[in-house]
Amino acid sequence: MIAKLTGVIDTLGQGYLILDVNGVGYLVQASTRTLSRIGGKGDPASLLIETVIREDAFTLFGFADKAEQEWFKLLTSVQGVGAKAGLAILSVNTPDKISLAIAAKDKAAIQAADGVGPKLATRILTELKDKAANIDLGANPQSVSFSDIASDEPTPDTGIDNDAISALVNLGYARSDAFTAVTKAKPQANDNLQDLIRLALKELSA
């Protein structure tokens, strides 16, 4: 089982690269995010590898960091999410943004990936909420994610929180952004909906 490869980038393509490791070229599938971070042709590169073996294929998937690799494994554990869809989701969302999208139930953020429809996005949000909360995803500590939800800090849950989020979404803000803004504004709003919306809008414009 291949867990990591270090070599020189021989070729970069749409969704893949060829990594030359001591004269052997390894074809590695990767997300747009990873491909944009590892450098160009001729540059040294090191990738974490997830090996998928099937009857008709032996495929290597490469990741620039552990957080992305863990999310790939988590996403592909959902029924209907294959490796292609997993990479597509990671291509449009960083690991911390996926964590936030699931926490905020932001289906649109997941659907932004090629090949992910509304039913599959809903399944991902439903199945991964508990799983994602129990592992270290290496998310950006400055983002609002499962670690925040598990803490003692107030987070959007019911009542005016959801009303405020809905109001911001209706104003054109992404649900994940609205979720983050309401989370930050809630301690100062004293359970007042108008104040919560006003303070959240201030957070969004900061």
pLDDT of residue 189: 84
0.85 surpassed by pTM: no
Ramachandran sector of residue 181 (left: φ over 0; alpha: ψ -120 to 50; beta: rest): alpha
CATH topology for the 4-64 domain: OB fold (Dihydrolipoamide Acetyltransferase, E2P) (2.40.50)
Q: What DSSP state is assigned to residue 91? A: H
pLDDT of residue 159: 75
pLDDT of residue 150: 39
pLDDT of residue 50: 96
Pick from 59, 93, 58, 57: which is nearest to 75 by CA?
A: 93
Pick from 94, 102, 74: which is nearest to 86 by CA?
A: 74
Bridge partners of 59? Answer: 52
CA 104 – CA 184 distance, rounded (Å): 14
Decide: 74 and 135 in contact? Cβ < 8 Å.
yes
CATH number of 66-150, picked from 2.40.50.140, 3.30.70.1400, 1.10.150.20, 3.90.580.10:
1.10.150.20
The structural domains of the chain, with segments of one domain joined by +, span 4-64, 66-150, 152-206
10-residue mean pLDDT profile of the chain (206 residues): values are 94 97 97 95 97 88 95 95 95 90 89 95 92 54 41 53 86 87 87 86 85
CA 19 – CA 4 distance, rounded (Å): 11
Residue 13: count of CB within 10 angstroms of its CB:
11
Pick from 64, 45, 133, 99: which is nearest to 89 by CA?
A: 99
In CATH, 152-206 is 3.30.230: no
For the record, the structure tokens of 10 come out as 């021989």
Buried residues in 84-94 as b, exposed as e (16+ CB within 10 A): ebbbbbbbbbb
Decide: 86 and 132 in contact? Cβ < 8 Å.
no
